[in-house]
Structure 1
Amino acid sequence: MLTIPSPSRRKREARAVHRSSATAQKIVGLKAKILHAKRHAEKVQLKKTLKAHDERNVKQKDSAASPDGALPTYLLDREGQKDAKALSTAIKEKRKDKAAKYAVPLPKVRGIAEDEMFKVMRTGKSKKKAWKRMVTKATFVGEGFTRKPVKMERFVRPMALRYKKANVTHPDLKATFQLQILGVKKNPQSPMYTQLGVLTKGTVIEVNVSELGMVTAGGKVVFGKYAQVTNNPENDGCINAVLLV
């Protein structure tokens, strides 16, 4: 029977970590040495447990499975294996691909302040209204983009800083192609910048790779693939990116 812990117990367990951390920071002297020795032992045990879990998924040679007598030629290159967990190779590959999606060429980028990103636009006859902002970085807008009416447009994206194509480098082929941008997947600076389509260093964009002839395992042509911007487009006047494969 599955037992669900009560909310109070669950909260108590969650807070215990913070309480122990606060105690470890304040404690001094012999008590601190005893506490740190205890925590060290706990961490060692935790690492051993995690290592045991990892080894459970790895295929190991099973000496008991190999027969004593002679083997046919077609079985000579095979080894007896024991699997604690029966995971097929396809599932393992899928997991590797899923993990690789989060491995980007530029894992860390410089934070951009709002003053650097936007320029205040003063409007009205007296020029007192200052609720409009002009985007000073490179942007991408969709194919059928139409600007809002003047009195409703909050963010202005200048025509000179709009880009439709990017110079994308394939890391395996060591070749660069000029590909069409399909959209902005994620800007690490802010979700608002992602929505506006702002292209800064480290932004993940989707590009059209149908010209490269890439196909899936099922034989279907890949249309869109993600790439990460590796330069500062507003300084260089172009977008350079690396394909995430």
Structure 2
Amino acid sequence: MRKRAARGVKDSAKKAQGLVGLKGKLYAKERYKEKIKMKKNIKAHEEKSATVTNDKKVEDGAIPAYLLDRNEVNRTKVLSNMIKQKRKEKAGKWKVPIEKVKPMSEDEMFKVLRTGKRRKKAWKRVVNKVTFVDENFVRKPPKFERFIRPTGLRFKKAHVTHPELKTTFCLDILGVKKNPQSAMYTSLGVITKGTVVEVNVSELGLVTQTGKVVWGKYAQVTNNPENDGCINAVLLV
């Protein structure tokens, strides 16, 4: 995969040189969009408040006390915490408590369900892990349902610990933001160790700089919920 990624640059360049006419224009437009997106992501990660010290000019004669520290430090880019947080979320980068997660096989995640007349065509799967299902969710008819999420393993609340306050709150889950195992598990709402979930923090009384109440925040699951019978998470501050 690493080698393929390294060769991919040359392949795309060769393809770009070979395509002409409308196809070439469309391909160039797509590549331009990708590059812009990548540059924005890199800029969002790198941008932070930085200080640059200026070389002090040596002046003739005595300097008053109130002018001694002037022009020593120059703030180049000062961003408020709220803007930083928004940019981090846009770039999809958080400082998470659990960075590396053990990969799970499909056999561990799903159980094959053999049902109906045609026993050979076992295309149905029962999810073995804890899941979050939206309140407005309506199940498909059994004939068309591919993934079955058992009601006994559906969770609505999580025990979220605030790392700075050192306090744990039982908060409602609003949705599953990212499951590191797979994008499919994210869409299914499967919650495993290392999953980033969005929780309702309105009762915590967190306020933005403009005075608005913070409604939802992300938290990372730190335990195996299917073993413990509850979801423990740490708030990403």
**Contact in 2 for aligned 1:210/1:223 (Cα 8 Å):** yes
1:65–1:240 Cα change, 3 Å: farther
Identity %: 60
Q: Which residue of 1 aligns with 2:191?
A: 199
Distance (whole Å) between structure 2 residues aligned to residue 178 and residue 142 of structure 1: 18
Q: Which runs of 5+ in 1 are unaligned?
A: 1-9, 16-53
**Contact in 1 for aligned 2:94/2:236 (Cα 8 Å):** no
Q: Please point out which of 230, 233, 236 is paired with 1:241.
A: 233
Cα shift readout 1:106-152 (whole Å, capped 9, x = no counterpart): 01000000000000000113533300000000000001111100111
What is the Cα-based RMSD across aligned positions, in Å?
3.0
Residues 1:152 and 2:167 are matched in the alignment: no
Amino acid at match of 1:113: S
Distance (whole Å) between structure 1 residues aligned to residue 135 and residue 55 of structure 2: 59
Q: Which residue of 1 aligns with 2:56?
A: 63
**Contact in 1 for aligned 2:88/2:94 (Cα 8 Å):** yes
| Counterparts of residues 122-141 of structure 1 (less than 5 Å) | 122-125=114-117, 127-141=119-133
Q: Which residue of 1 aligns with 2:44?
A: none
**Contact in 2 for aligned 1:184/1:197 (Cα 8 Å):** yes
Q: What is the aligned residue count?
A: 192
Moved over 6 A (4+): none
Q: Which runs of 5+ in 2 are unaligned?
A: 1-8, 15-46
**Contact in 2 for aligned 1:228/1:242 (Cα 8 Å):** yes
1:93–1:220 Cα change, 3 Å: closer
Amino acid at match of 1:228: Q
Larger radius of gyration: 1
Distance (whole Å) between structure 1 residues aligned to residue 59 and residue 145 of structure 2: 74
State the secondary structure of the residue aligned to 1:133: strand
**Contact in 1 for aligned 2:51/2:76 (Cα 8 Å):** no
State the secondary structure of the residue aligned to 2:114: strand
Amino acid at match of 1:71: A
Distance (whole Å) between structure 1 residues aligned to residue 85 and residue 57 of structure 2: 31
Q: Which residue of 2 aligns with 1:211?
A: 203
Q: Which residue of 1 aligns with 2:170?
A: 178
